[in-house]
Amino acid sequence: MSRYWNDRVRGLVPYVPGEQPKDERDWIKLNTNENPYPPSPSALAAIRDALGDSLRLYPDPDGTPLREALAEYYDLSPEEVFVGNGSDEILAFAFMTFFDSARPVVFPDITYSFYPVYAAHFGIPFRTVELEEDFALSADKLIRAAEGGGGILFPNPNAPTGVGLPLTEVRKILDRADDQLVLIDEAYVDFGGETAAGLIRSYPNLLVVQTLSKSRSFAGLRVGFALGNADLIRGLERVKHSFNSYTLDRLALAGAVAAIRDEAHFAAARDKIIAARERTIAALRELGFIIPPSQANFFMAGHPQLNAREVQQALRDRGILVRHFAKPRIDGYLRITVGTDEQMDRLIACLRELLLHENRTGGRS
Amino acid sequence: MSRYWNDRVRGLVPYVPGEQPKDERDWIKLNTNENPYPPSPSALAAIRDALGDSLRLYPDPDGTPLREALAEYYDLSPEEVFVGNGSDEILAFAFMTFFDSARPVVFPDITYSFYPVYAAHFGIPFRTVELEEDFALSADKLIRAAEGGGGILFPNPNAPTGVGLPLTEVRKILDRADDQLVLIDEAYVDFGGETAAGLIRSYPNLLVVQTLSKSRSFAGLRVGFALGNADLIRGLERVKHSFNSYTLDRLALAGAVAAIRDEAHFAAARDKIIAARERTIAALRELGFIIPPSQANFFMAGHPQLNAREVQQALRDRGILVRHFAKPRIDGYLRITVGTDEQMDRLIACLRELLLHENRTGGRS
């Protein structure tokens, strides 16, 4: 603590990112929802082409070529697209643009753990809506909780549960909460969720946020984007140009444009991940694991006979990193990223072995 | 304007970045203080090495290797170094970490035009201190204005004037304002200014912010850093991890580490720029231009017989971009970035020609 910090910083409880191991061990890294497959070779080639003397010049502060590529992809205009340094930066900008201290925002009780951090940081009050017993998000409950509120925010599919909300329910929220911004965080939507991108022109209160970190294998490049009514996008631009005008560097812009255009590469990796997810979930359920249905590149798994925290450590001892959240309702589960087929085989084998051991030793915990 | 923006966003007057021309014309670009020489070849090679499948993985959220390289360079520890997505992002984080709405921050009346934008955006009141007639910053005036205030902020050398403040005066400010943070924005210090980096261990209230955009020719890569007491750095980290944990991508981190280590490349470009600046200022003064002494990679030039706005346009017609600020006291000047020797020759020739024409036509304005 320093005497030079302001009061808000003294009270902050910052976000804790998942571990990025720095040692040389060849970890099976299923803890931060990265894509196990490499980025598009044509995107890497585009970065290589942009890598040269022109790096002495500032990038385009508006990210125009990337906005054009995304507009084309989603059948929108570039004025309906905002780009930023990862979707986290865009979420932060959205908090600064659309929410205020007068009215609470609403999000699920179990959700991306950065939301309450943003709220505290920007001085925005919030209410949470309890997920159903099966971890589904109830649109009706959300709408009721948002009455008189200042905004709605949820991931679809949700994290860390992986559970998706059907578009019919999304529409219901947009219709009924038309007095406030509805921010849908679609970081994982490409793995089987239903995107609301097609609803942008119908709902002036809808902002959809996505990222290239997951389905485009570019977590290390830091590119996210938002889709929404041009008025909403202009608000984000005002905030960005009051914060940092050049958030995306020349290499990230070049790589992102090419990644968006390489549909075949994207689709192949996505399909492999979805297949591996379904196969893994089926195998683990056979072992007695309880796993909510996932539309993401991760799933949440708990076992009545196993202590999740201990399983996390046991997997770590075997070279597999997964994530555990010491939070009510989900502390009996692990969040496991879907990796390659080989990685999933190894995961299943390790969990089977742990269960066998548990059954043999009679379940001391 | 949108009904979904909050009140603060409605009132924002965002920063306006200098023009980045998108056409194919071969501009002489002296308008955004970029380095006319390319980045370090070894830095480009380091980026090439980092460019591959590992981009699917998140970067190190703490930027450890870059903090280590900067700590080594400045003879500090990595805990005394913060890294961010350009110095603008770090300035924004500093506003969020160290200043508050209760006490005004103080900065010069003529300075980097982003400061009042940050202040408005983050709800921080401010006072300005008038520069002297010769555009020098008076440490005594600054200290008096900061009494009872919540922070001091100035670029050294100042922008857009290029005028530097000697370290003896900087020390006076740090000694007398020890109850508040003193943020010195050294974006241009490598071109002949006196850095306060060596004072970090003596003053717990000193934060020095620098960038790789100018002296390291990496405006297109977006890397800035701050040096300060470990307590100050921890405050910036808390804010960053409440905003966006991964602000620097893997390629920027790799390139920045190698750029900091390539001292010879850095020094050669810097020396050429300083020599070109001195020669150009001397030539323009002979033509009657009034130019405050510059320690930066730009200078501010005005001429009693010429209208600065018209000269900017006339230069533009000749393929040369410079910047004009329509602000009291400096609207008679242009801010001109120091380019290559050839670019400076062309600039001098164009200005000489404009003056000749002005003298012949008898000075209509």
Q: What pLDDT digit, counting tens, does each position of A249-260 carry?
A: 999 999 999 999
| Residues across chain A | 365
Q: Do B59 and A220 touch (CB under 8 A)?
A: yes
Give chain B's mean pLDDT: 96
- Higher model confidence: residue B125 or residue A15? B125
pLDDT band for position B332 (50/70/90)?
very high
Q: Which chain A residue lies closest to B5 (C-alpha atoms)?
A: A98
Q: Do A20 and B57 touch (CB under 8 A)?
A: yes
Binding-face residues of B in 287-346 toward A, CB within 8 A? none
Q: Do A218 and B15 touch (CB under 8 A)?
A: no
Look at residue B365 and tell me whether its pLDDT is greater than 50. no
* Interface membership of A37 toward B (CB under 8 Å): yes
Q: Do B219 and A44 touch (CB under 8 A)?
A: no
* Interface membership of B26 toward A (CB under 8 Å): no
Look at residue B20 and tell me whether its pLDDT is greater than 90. no
pLDDT digits (tens, 9 = 90+) for A302-360: 999 999 999 999 999 999 999 999 999 999 999 999 999 999 999 999 999 999 998 88
Dihedral of CA atoms B297, B300, B303, B308 in degrees, nearest 10, equals: 110
Q: B234: which chain A residues are within 8 Å (Cβ-Cβ)?
A: 2
pLDDT of residue B238: 96
Nearest to B288 by CA among B356, B360, B342: B356
- Higher model confidence: residue B264 or residue A12? B264
H-type alpha helices, chain B: 7-11, 41-50, 64-74, 86-98, 114-122, 139-145, 167-176, 230-240, 250-261, 263-286, 308-317, 341-361
Kindly tell me the number of DSSP H helices and DSSP E strands found in chain A: 12, 11
pLDDT of residue B237: 97
Strands A298-302 and A333-337: antiparallel
Q: Tell me which amino acid residue B328 is.
A: P
Share of residues in chain A with pLDDT > 70 (%):
98
Q: Poorest-confidence range of A134-138, B106-110, B324-328?
A: B324-328
* Interface membership of A54 toward B (CB under 8 Å): yes
Q: Is the peptide bond before A293 cis (omega within 30 degrees of 0)?
A: no
* Interface membership of B22 toward A (CB under 8 Å): yes
Taking a C-beta distance cutoff of 8 angstroms, is the pair B245, A121 a contact?
A: no
Look at residue B241 and tell me whether its pLDDT is greater than 90. yes
Kindly tell me the number of DSSP H helices and DSSP E strands found in chain B: 12, 11
A131 CA: distance to closest CA in chain B (Å): 25
pLDDT of residue B227: 98
pLDDT of residue B321: 97
User: Which of B7, B122, B249, B262 best probes binding to A when mutated, by most A CB atoms within 10 angstroms?
Assistant: B249
pLDDT of residue A184: 98
The CA distance from B362 to B357, in Å, is 8
pLDDT band for position B362 (50/70/90)?
low
Residues A231-259 have a mean pLDDT of 97
Which residue in A238, A245, A250 is closest to B12 by CB distance?
A238
* Interface membership of A20 toward B (CB under 8 Å): yes
Kindly report the number of other CB atoms within 10 A of residue A60's CB atom.
18
For residue B337, the SS3 value is strand
pLDDT of residue A365: 46
Q: Do B56 and A218 touch (CB under 8 A)?
A: yes
B5 CA: distance to closest CA in chain A (Å): 5
Binding-face residues of A in 206-265 toward B, CB within 8 A? 213, 217-222, 229, 231-232, 234-235, 237-252, 255
Q: Do B56 and A39 touch (CB under 8 A)?
A: yes
How many whole angstroms from its chain centre is CA A90? 12
Q: Kindly report the pTM of this predicted structure.
A: 0.96
pLDDT of residue B19: 83
* Interface membership of B159 toward A (CB under 8 Å): no
Which residue in B12, B235, B251 is closest to A9 by CB distance?
B235
For residue A152, the SS3 value is strand
Give chain A's mean pLDDT: 96
The residues pairing with A336 across neighbouring beta strands, listed in sequence order, are: A299
pLDDT of residue A107: 98
pLDDT of residue B234: 97
Residues B18-26 have a mean pLDDT of 81
Q: Poorest-confidence range of A74-78, A86-90, B3-7, B67-71?
A: B3-7
Q: Do A85 and B86 touch (CB under 8 A)?
A: no
Which residue in A17, A60, A235 is closest to B61 by CB distance?
A17
* Interface membership of B40 toward A (CB under 8 Å): no
Q: Do A220 and B2 touch (CB under 8 A)?
A: no
Taking a C-beta distance cutoff of 8 angstroms, is the pair A214, A185 a contact?
A: no
pLDDT of residue A25: 82
Q: Do B15 and A245 touch (CB under 8 A)?
A: yes
Q: Do A239 and B37 touch (CB under 8 A)?
A: no
- Residues 6 or more apart whose CB falls under 8 angstroms from that of A231 comprise A204, B1, B2, B4, B5
pLDDT digits (tens, 9 = 90+) for A121-180: 999 999 999 999 999 999 999 999 999 999 999 999 999 999 999 999 999 999 999 999
Q: Do B246 and A88 touch (CB under 8 A)?
A: yes
A102 CA: distance to closest CA in chain B (Å): 10
Q: A218: which chain B residues are within 8 Å (Cβ-Cβ)?
A: 55-56
Residues A61-77 have a mean pLDDT of 97
Q: Do B47 and A251 touch (CB under 8 A)?
A: yes
* Interface membership of B89 toward A (CB under 8 Å): yes
pLDDT of residue B89: 98
Q: Poorest-confidence range of A7-11, A263-267, A338-342?
A: A7-11
Residues B174-202 have a mean pLDDT of 97
pLDDT of residue A363: 56
Q: A217: which chain B residues are within 8 Å (Cβ-Cβ)?
A: 55-56
* Interface membership of B204 toward A (CB under 8 Å): yes
Q: Do A17 and B48 touch (CB under 8 A)?
A: no
Angle at B286 between CA B281 and CA B292, to 5 degrees: 40
Strands A182-185 and A152-155: parallel
Look at residue A16 and tell me whether its pLDDT is greater than 90. no
Residues B141-157 have a mean pLDDT of 97
Q: Is the peptide bond before A21 cis (omega within 30 degrees of 0)?
A: no
